[in-house]
Amino acid sequence: MDRDRIERAVRELLIGIGDDPSRAGLVDTPRRVADAYAEFFSGIGVDASVLVHDGAVPAESGEIGDLVIVRDIAFRSVCEHHLLPFLGTAQIAYAPGERIIGLGTLARVVDAIASRPQLQERLGESIADAVQQGLAARGVLVVLDAVHGCVTTRGARQTGSSTVTLAARGSLAEPRARAEAVALIGARPSGAPGTTAAGDAA
């Protein structure tokens, strides 16, 4: 990441909107924006499927279960259309093959893919691909629910609006299995048959 170039661009942006980048309140803004962008876009170039593969562990057949669901993984990303943030939660379900992955690793995968200029639709698809490829899972389902800055702060300013997207792979792309997984994701009481909560195996 070229921090000097970001700082120069921010100064030009401030001039472009008619403000003075040398005034006291703005003099450190280019550096602060560069710091923020280094964090917001730290996932550029990261292969998330490798993160999944490296964070997975073998499991005995009796330990796997039919379905693993990890709910409410918080994420933040930046919309590539307006460079405004969108914030939300990811729900990930997968039907294990011979390997499982811990909650901590799944959260890192979501963060890596979210930390680049994104569209919510592509974010969900990319998470699903990374989990399926990295785990060789029999099926994957990713549900994202996010609030977009470009919707809440500009245009119609729909402050109460959120966007839900769904991406499915393998066995969980089948309508019945997908519907059952979505229902389990929404069923907050624990102990649903055939469902296990993922611990932090990594």
Positions marked catalytic: 79-82, 120, 148, 150
Beta strands 56-58 and 163-170 are unpaired
> Residue 88: beta bridge partners?
75, 146
176-184 long-range contacts (CB < 8 A, ≥24 apart) are: 177/95, 177/139, 178/141, 181/67, 181/69, 181/93, 181/141, 182/141, 182/143, 184/67, 184/69, 184/93
